Each structure stands twice: as C-alpha cells, then as structure tokens.
Structure 1
Amino acid sequence: MAIKITCINKDNGNHENPNLAITHLGWINDADNSKGKNTRLEIYNWIKNDGGYGYVEKNGNKVKVITAETASGTKYLKTEADSTTINNLLSLPEC
C-alpha cells in the first residue's frame, strides 16, 4: 500500500531537528482514495516495520518518505534528498 502525505501538524516546541516538531500526518491511500491521519510514530512504524510506502508530491515530483532516528533514539520521518532545497515534508500545509 502506498500513501501520499498531504498535510502535517506540528507542535510549538523548540526542536534541534525541525522534523521532530511533526506530531501527525494526513494522508490519502493510492489504492482506494481513503483518507486518514496518524501520529508520526504510527507512520514511522508502518514504514519501518510493515513495509509501508509513503511519499510527498509537489509539482508532479514524488519524493519518498523515509524513517530516521536522532542520536538519542527519537524516531522521525523525512524525505529522501531530491533536486530541490526545500524540505518537502515540512513545506506541507497544516491538517
């Protein structure tokens, strides 16, 4: 199953890594157009442990969402590097 990440929610705290501010992600399932919203950790686990595939699409360009961890073990999501300098995930609108 593939999902397109369409929006994010962020908390207002100060974070050394801005991706850690993401608390929830909204998505659309490619297969059946169902929609949902899950926590960052739920999407992280789905991608990392269940073989899920998430992506962000901007101007027709699809960029894969991948899992990562900070040095202290905090789990978060980011997008693979692409030809743009913007953060594809953080540039999404609020849900």
Structure 2
Amino acid sequence: MADNIQIQCINKTNRTSPFERISHIGGITPSGGRWKLSLDEAIKGIESGKWQFYVDVKGQFVWVVISKSASGQKYLKTQKDGEQPNNLLSLPECP
C-alpha cells in the first residue's frame, strides 16, 4: 500500500514563468524534518506504488496524478487541474 504524502512546496526550472516545469516537490515529515524529491523520483515512486501524493486546497485533499504533455513528457498535476498544474504551481518555493 502506498504512503500518502502531502506536497507543501515546489521548485520550478524558472520560478517566474507559469509554464515552466516543476523540478522538485517537497514538504515536512510528521517528525518536523523536511523532505524533497526530484520530479523523476516522484513519478517513479507513484508508478511503482510506493507513494501517493496530495495537496491541501482550501481544506480539501486533492490527489496528485501523472500526466503527459503533447510532446510525451511526464509531469505532475492534481486531479482537479486542467492542462496546467495550477494547484501545484501555486505552492511556495521549497528551501
């Protein structure tokens, strides 16, 4: 069974561009430490069943899924997002 993990921050390849790809996701562990994964590590973890990620959007848990761009590149977005991963892109920058 996959561990459910909340994503609380992201890093983008170009933070000022709304169209740039997410490079890392991160958050805080139950013990208060920080965790951070590359996009590729997160996708592999989802595909293998190791992890299932979610974000908190106004008190609602929204699951993160893998999607593919028109060019076939995998990326993360929430189930409620359209083509752009707005729920993830709106998260603060990871340290």
TM-score by length of 1: 0.76
Identical amino acids, percent of aligned pairs: 42
Q: Deviation at 1:42?
A: 0.8
Unaligned runs of 5+ in 1: none
Q: CA RMSD in A?
A: 2.6
Structure 2, gaps ≥5 residues long: none
1:70: Cα distance to partner? Answer: 1.7
Q: Note the alpha carbon deviations across 1:17-56, whole angstroms, 9 max, x for none.
A: 83x52101012456x6653101111111111222521000
Q: Is the 8 A contact 1:66 1:79 kept in 2?
A: yes
Residue number in structure 2 paired with 1:91: 90
2:79 pairs with 1:80: yes
Q: Which runs of 4+ in 1 moved over 6 A?
A: none
Matched residue count: 88
Amino acid at match of 1:88: N
Matched-pair contact (CA < 8 Å) for 1:78–1:89: yes
2:69 match: 70
Distance 1:28 1:47, change over 3 A: farther
TM-score (norm 2): 0.76
